[in-house]
Amino acid sequence: MPTAARAAKNEILFREVNERIVELEENFGRRLDEPTEFVCECSMIDCVERVPLTLREYQEVRAEPTYFLVAPGHVDEAYERVVVRREHYVVVEKLGAAGAIAEQDAD
């Protein structure tokens, strides 16, 4: 199991990939309500799971710097709590040191 710092850094890396996906989709004119595949932002460095949601849904996740998008079953209860659970994705909030690292990265 990764440490809080390692888990947060892994998730931040995956979040950066998703932010680039948003930029590309917006540049190509994708509407906010069209589905897009994002990468799971879980703490597992070898995760390759894709998570379908709209650009609008992803923007809602990103509105909070401590919120991350993960695939169902990828919640790390040691460092996060579930905020939203949908059929194809889960939004988690980073807690403790991991949350502080995520907030610091957002600044």
- Between 1 and 13, the more confident residue is 13
Residue 93 Cα distances to 2, 14, 34, 78, 81, angstroms = 17, 15, 25, 11, 5
Q: What is the pLDDT of residues 29-55, one digit of tens each?
A: 778 788 899 999 988 878 889 999 999
Model pLDDT, residue 106: 63
Total-model pTM:
0.79
Q: 3-class SS at 3?
A: coil
Which one, of 101, 66, 91, 94, lies nearest residue 80 by Cα?
Answer: 94
